[in-house]
């Protein structure tokens, strides 16, 4: 993967800064390169093992799992003066629950807009929504086995639309308009009452931390000088009534908790807490605002420290109710040669009114008080990120578990949608401490 050739002629022709123009932090294996076009193949596989201790009144307290976490393949390149990036997901990470979620992650073109400035590009297609450093961090370049619980509050995932991005010196920005319905949505021409499409803006100062704004690295090798970046993120959308439901309500993947009907009882509601119908569903409004910052500093002799902080706050409202959500994280790491040790703290705060709609607006036992995560991690970069082993040990404090009668306990951090078992007879819930151990093996090309 590190054998990507620089294409000076192509870059000169595009006249676009790499931070703005790059499609992926993974350069892949080049299979074609000439004056007219270039293409490279890229792939990633991740195997993960997880053990945890859960106070389960029905089944074993000690649990062990093994999964193929990621199996991805894609290609990228340039043609006719623009760049493109395509990535697909296979295996269990992308099991389709409906006729959407077919496995396509990215399918995007970067079109240079030279008349608006040499560093200005229009992104068109399906790609990441420009919001949140943790949400934009490429999973292949993380030094934790999974994102933090903060990400459950503010993750925006991928969507289809267009975005304008530019750079002026060390100031970087992107503003995009998206459907709000998530990725891989089939063509359905249904009656609608339009709202406001999803609008996301990410602006900040970056003196060399990120190669690109849409897919960032969680760590960096060969740091020769101190680097820093800070960003402001803003997102807004008014839902659209379409067919028998709404855009946000029928979204099937990459749903944060604020638009998840299992925790937002108003999004699919009708009057007096009844289930919404095509005539009683209401168009809600959603917003997120957040900030993130990163510092990387070399210590000499192959060692360095890396620090990150982030916070996000969001809200949803329609005529039936109002909800808010918040999350924060702070993490630091020390790297010496191929070895890295880090620790992460994260917090997740659900609105006390958040809950599962059963009969009336019923608050969830999993809402109200703050959940905490403390995760130490060790990483061995055998061949950089191309071949590495990540081991971490999350400790979740005040974590809800949902106990299904005769079956056992589900951990909120792992299976948040299992809150639905609380509708069954004899089900219950409580807060507790959950200790996990995870090990992930990764290869990339």
Report d(CA 168, CA 166) in Å as an integer: 7
Q: Are 128 and 214 in contact (CB under 8 A)?
A: yes
The DSSP H or E segment spanning 430 is strand 428-444
Report d(CA 29, CA 2) in Å as an integer: 9
The string over 66-101, giving b where at least 16 C-beta atoms fall within 10 Å of a residue's C-beta and e elsewhere, is: eeebbbbebbbbbeeeebbbbbbbeeeebeeeeebb
Backbone angles phi, psi at 141, to 5 degrees: -120, 20
The string over 246-267, giving b where at least 16 C-beta atoms fall within 10 Å of a residue's C-beta and e elsewhere, is: bbbbbbbbbbbbbbbbbbbbbb
Which residues neighbour 383 within 8 Å (Cβ) at sequence distance 6 or greater?
Answer: none
Which pLDDT score is estimated for 133? 98
Tell me the average pLDDT across 118-137.
Answer: 96
Helix spans in 44-150 (H): 133-136
CA angle 193, 194, 199 (to 5 degrees): 155
Tell me the average pLDDT across 403-413.
Answer: 96
The fraction of the chain above a pLDDT of 90, given in percent, is 75
The string over 112-122, giving b where at least 16 C-beta atoms fall within 10 Å of a residue's C-beta and e elsewhere, is: beeeebebbbe
**Domains annotated on the chain, with CATH:** 8-439 (2.40.160.10)
DSSP 279: T
Give 296's strand partners. 227, 306
Q: Which band of pLDDT confidence, cut at 50, 70 and 90, is reported for residue 17?
A: very low
The string over 140-167, giving b where at least 16 C-beta atoms fall within 10 Å of a residue's C-beta and e elsewhere, is: bbbbbbbbbbbbbbbbbbbbbbbbebbb
Q: Tell which residue, 331, 340, 346, 432, has the closest CA to residue 385.
A: 340
Q: Which band of pLDDT confidence, cut at 50, 70 and 90, is reported for residue 94?
A: low
State the residue for tokens 């929504």: 129
pLDDT in tens, 260-297: 999 998 999 999 878 899 999 999 999 999 999 999 99
Q: Are 129 and 154 in contact (CB under 8 A)?
A: no
């Amino acid at each position: 993967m590190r054998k990507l050739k620089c294409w000076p002629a192509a870059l000169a022709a595009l006249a676009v800064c790499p931070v703005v123009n790059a499609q992926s932090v993974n350069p892949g294996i080049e299979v074609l390169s000439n004056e007219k076009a270039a293409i490279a193949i890229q792939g990633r596989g991740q195997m993960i093992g997880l053990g945890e201790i859960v106070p389960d009144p029905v089944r074993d307290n000690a649990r062990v799992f093994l999964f193929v976490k990621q199996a991805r393949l894609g290609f990228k390149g340039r043609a006719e003066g623009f760049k493109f990036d395509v990535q697909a997901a296979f295996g269990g990470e992308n099991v389709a629950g409906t006729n959407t979620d077919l496995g396509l992650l990215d399918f995007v073109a970067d079109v240079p807009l030279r008349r608006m400035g040499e560093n200005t590009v229009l992104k068109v297609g399906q790609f990441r929504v420009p919001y949140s450093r943790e949400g934009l961090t490429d999973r292949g370049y993380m030094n934790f086995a999974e994102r933090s619980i903060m990400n459950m509050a503010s993750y925006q995932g991928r969507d289809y639309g267009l975005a304008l991005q530019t750079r002026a010196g060390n100031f970087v920005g992107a503003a995009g308009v998206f459907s709000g319905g998530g990725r891989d949505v089939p063509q359905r021409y249904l009656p609608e009452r339009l709202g406001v499409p999803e609008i996301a803006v990410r602006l900040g100062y970056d003196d060399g931390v990120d190669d690109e704004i849409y897919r960032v690295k969680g760590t960096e090798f060969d740091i020769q000088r101190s680097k820093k970046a800070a960003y402001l993120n803003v997102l807004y959308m008014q839902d659209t009534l379409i067919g028998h439901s709404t855009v946000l309500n029928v979204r099937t993947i990459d749903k944060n908790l604020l638009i998840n009907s299992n925790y937002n009882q108003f999004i699919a509601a009708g009057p007096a807490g009844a289930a919404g119908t095509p005539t009683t569903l209401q168009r809600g409004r959603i917003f997120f605002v957040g900030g993130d910052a990163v510092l990387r500093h070399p210590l000499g002799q192959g060692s360095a420290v890396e620090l990150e902080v982030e916070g996000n706050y969001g809200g949803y409202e329609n005529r039936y109710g109002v909800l808010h959500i918040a999350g924060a994280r702070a993490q630091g790491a020390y790297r010496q040669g191929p070895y890295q040790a880090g620790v992460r703290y994260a917090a997740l705060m659900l609105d006390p009114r958040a809950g599962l709609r059963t009969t009336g607006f019923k608050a969830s036992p999993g809402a109200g008080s703050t959940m905490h995560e403390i995760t130490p991690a060790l990483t061995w970069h055998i061949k950089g990120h191309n071949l590495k082993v990540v081991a971490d040990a999350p400790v979740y404090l005040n974590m809800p578990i949902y106990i299904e009668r005769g079956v056992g306990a589900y951990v909120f951090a792992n299976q948040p949608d299992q809150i639905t078992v609380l509708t069954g007879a004899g089900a219950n819930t409580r807060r507790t401490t959950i200790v996990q151990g995870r090990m992930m093996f990764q290869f990339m090309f």
